[in-house]
Amino acid sequence: MALVTTKEMFEKAYNGHYAIGAFNINNMEIIQGVVSACKKHNSAVILQVSKSALKYAHPLYLKKMVDAAVEETGIDIALHLDHGPDFETCKLCIETGFTSVMFDGSHLDYEENVAKTKEIVDYAHARGVVVEAELGKLAGVEDEVKVAEGQATYTDPDQALDFVKRTGVDSLAIAIGTSHGAYKFKGEAKLDFDRLETITKKLEDAGFHNYPIVLHGASSVDQASVATCNEFGGKINGAKGIPVEMLRKASSMAVCKINMDTDIRLAMTAAIRKSFAEDPAAFDPRGYLGAARNDIEALVEKKITDVLGSENSMN
């Protein structure tokens, strides 16, 4: 068994009207919790790594742990760089053995984004690695990605088509109303499904059949995890995410990859806070990290069944 690319995953997801979950990983417990849930539900999965996670856990450690997950579970796993900031970071991940990289040039001038994305696509494709890029700006904060609400911009459908044509990128992350972080909305959440449909149709009409769209900032900010954090000493007030029904609708359309990071963090933090509160004398990391792993597994199971619809995607 070996890591796979997202090519076949996305083709099956598009035709099956579901999405593949892309979960950010930082350590062994997160990896184990995610893949155990996917194994239970026979679901393919994308494990993704931010630049901050590369710095924290080191690329080779992450790659070897994910290799172990592939060998132990036998499920389809792609290892993906999330929000790669530059060519060098993408190159490092490709050389380490990642099967997919994202270059995020959404903060750049459009023509510069096109040029830099094309450079990375050419390098990656020559080595059998697929590339995701981003067009439009999501508000919010995630690791080193910070965009003020007033600077967020939705993806222009005509520009999306031009971008895909000129770069040859394999999938495109678009901005239709999702947001990074735990504090996504002050009012009600709203996703621009008409914009998603327009982008999909323009790509299809231009010959890009079954083209996979990606949603970033798509954690639903599980309120049970938030409540547990706050009950046991946390101060996570006013956290709101994307409603599950909106994500499910998106995954039934052209969205083939849904990114979730905040929900994993909240589940892990809630479990650890609860463990310490219930047993203040505890100091064995296996106890509180084991509890966190279990809660991550339960969370991902719910994502598979309620949001992604990716059960039995290995069949």
What contacts 224, CB < 8 A, 6 or more positions away? 270
Task: Work out the angle at residue 164's Cα, subtended by the Cα atoms of residues 172 and 124, and round it to the nearest 5 degrees.
Answer: 75
| Distance, CA of 179 to CA of 140 (rounded, Å) | 5
Look up tokens 């790594």; give the residue. Answer: 49
Q: Which of 82, 170, 263, 295 is catalytic?
A: 82
CB atoms within 10 A of CB 250: 24
| Distance, CA of 156 to CA of 135 (rounded, Å) | 8
Interhelix angle 223-231/262-278, rounded to 10 degrees, is 30
Say which amino acid occupies 310.
Answer: S
Whether 156 is catalytic: no
Two tokens at 179?
């947001």
**End-to-end Cα spacing for the chain:** 16
In the chain, where does DSSP find H-type helix? Answer: 7-16, 28-40, 51-57, 59-73, 87-96, 110-125, 157-167, 193-205, 223-231, 244-251, 262-278, 285-302
**Which positions are annotated as active-site residues?**
82
